[in-house]
Chains A and B, each alone.
Chain A
């Protein structure tokens, strides 16, 4: 039962704006954690801290056995831990973030070749297996611009998986998609969860959260107000604000 992510009274500021307040949170290996909260509550900021895309100022954050340096230390060049952490943590963004000037295959192989020093043959073999897994083998030699949003997001997931991460972060992976494409991406994520991948997922897909999550975290204005089993959280939220949040999102 070891934790892969452990936050202890973690605090983050944008200037004077206190965005994350005394966050205490532990994610166990193999767990799927869904993070819910209203717009602007700090969900993205929270998971972006985990792979160091955002810096935090106080407290501690340990990811996969490495201590993430606080902002002051990173400015002094404490970036070795950061590189180690990023090798083992994948991230999928709302806007896909595929490299438009590279083919699907090159998008997937570039990091394993550059960072993990794999040969092209190895990297391409892995990439083709992953494309099979997300159902896109036939599109290996296309450019991202030639794919639909749902296909691009599945490529983005395959690209992250190619680095053989121990933890995957998802920041609203289906929010930029047309409704008919949401399902194909959620299917891939569901399959990933059942394969035992540790996942932190920010999403507005309540059905997915309830079905796949091991635990649900509710954030409001930078504080964690509730953590619990999905059934418990959705059927019987203890916190008032969580209740009104659920009432608002489930109405739609």
Chain B
């Protein structure tokens, strides 16, 4: 064992003179970096600030005495996401253990139940939803309706203190969910429109997609924010809603392009076979072409969700306080001015963890889609 690893080291790290030099420089460098990071994280860093500002990071400036509303919403989102996962891959105890790390960590760092309760609730409802759809297949049938109801409840429960107060990680997640869910059907319609036999429709869809793909997201969001009150003053749409509309308008174009590449991957023979069975063009597109097209583009579509989540901080342009902005707000407090690294590290770690979870789910989704066909 040791002999082989010495051999491996000799061969790979000290094989050629250049490797030797590189290894002599890089290995100590990496070790030193690892040491300083660990030393900082466990000795010098004052993580207390994260615990103290956890509420602001999670739900922004939502009033503290109304926070239960936001925590309930988080729990509902957790249940919906968990139930969604359960349709794709079965819940296993080790998934639960990983998720439970979050509240456990909070308990250890904070030492009190108060701050850990919301996280515990969210994690618990995620696990419940996940286990439900994993082990009760019948529940998958009602999931779309349940998720829709859940979303209405979230809006109803969080609205009273004022929609303008939504913020933090909760806002980022809500924005990502709403944008992802809405941009999928719109993107699909655009993709079909771009291939339509009606040239006017085709030109409009092509233009829409090309324009959106050549301008920055932040500009689209800003424009929509300014334009909505002009175009539809009677609606009196809140900033949050306008932001979601801007994101959806922008990302639908990207979804359309992914879906279009999927549509092109479906062999012509499939359409011809369906036509010769007498199926209508609508039925062919809906039941034969689209399912096969989506199957091909699952990975880029989930990548798009990740993209949306990582772009959410741009809503600062219309005055919203997302997760990243909440972190900045904390640092703006002179009292906490010297905790930049702690806060930024926490943001980075959270983005990384959530991003990894989305990627992990995407891989499972791909496996799930692949079974049965071949």
8 interchain residue pairs of minimum CB distance: A97-B273, A111-B277, A91-B276, A86-B278, A145-B374, A87-B278, A115-B278, A97-B269
Nearest-neighbour CB distance to chain A for B294, whole angstroms, equals 10
**Closest B residue by C-beta to A86:** B278
Q: What are 24 of the A-B contact pairs (CB < 8 Å)? A: A51-B275, A51-B276, A53-B275, A83-B278, A83-B280, A86-B275, A86-B277, A87-B278, A90-B277, A97-B270, A97-B272, A97-B273, A98-B273, A99-B273, A99-B274, A100-B292, A100-B374, A101-B292, A110-B279, A114-B280, A114-B287, A143-B374, A160-B276, A163-B278
Interface string of A143-174 (1 = CB under 8 A from B): 10110000000001001100100000100000
Across the interface, which residues of A come within 8 angstroms of B279, CB to CB?
110-111, 114-115
Contact check, B283 vs A143: say whether CB atoms are below 8 A apart.
no
Residue in contact with A89 in the complex, picked from B270, B276, B291, B295, CB distance below 8 Å: B276
Bound complex: CA of A76 vs CA of B272, how far in Å? Answer: 21
User: Is A53 touching B276 in the complex (CB atoms < 8 A)?
Assistant: yes
A156 to B279, CA, bound (A): 15
Central interface residue in A52, A98, A110, A169, by most chain B CB within 10 Å: A110
A122 to B315, CA, bound (A): 55
B contact face: mostly helix, strand, loop, or mixed:
helix
Q: Looking at the assembled complex, report how far the CB atom of B207 sits from the nearest CB atom of chain A, in whole angstroms.
A: 24
Residues of B contacting A114 in the complex (Cβ-Cβ under 8 angstroms): 279-280, 283, 287
Contacts A98-B273, A111-B274 known; list 14 others, CB within 8 Å. A86-B275, A86-B278, A90-B276, A91-B273, A91-B276, A95-B269, A99-B274, A100-B292, A101-B291, A114-B287, A115-B278, A143-B373, A143-B374, A146-B374
**Which residues of B259-295 have CB atoms within 8 Å of chain A's CB atoms?**
269-270, 272-280, 283, 287-288, 291-292, 295
List the B side residues contacting A163 at CB < 8 Å: 277-278
Q: Smallest CB–CB gap between A113 and chain B, Å?
A: 10
Whether the pair A99, B275 counts as a contact (CB closer than 8 A) is no
Is residue A208 within 8 Å, beta carbon to beta carbon, of the partner chain? no
**Closest chain B CB from A17 CB (angstroms):** 19
User: Which residues of B lie under 8 Å from residue A234 when comparing CB positions?
Assistant: none
B114 at the interface (CB under 8 A from A): no
Contacts of B280 in A (CB 8 A): 83, 114-115
| Complex-state Cα separation, A115 to B275, whole angstroms | 11
Q: Given A99-B288, A100-B292, A101-B292 in contact, is the A160-B277 Cβ separation under 8 Å?
A: yes
Q: How far is the CA of A87 from the CA of B279 in the complex (A)?
A: 8
Closest A residue to B371 by beta carbon equals: A143
**Chain B positions within 8 Å of A100 at CB level:** 292, 373-374
Contacting A101 at CB < 8 Å: which of B269, B275, B295? B295
CB of A245 closer than 8 Å to a CB of B: no
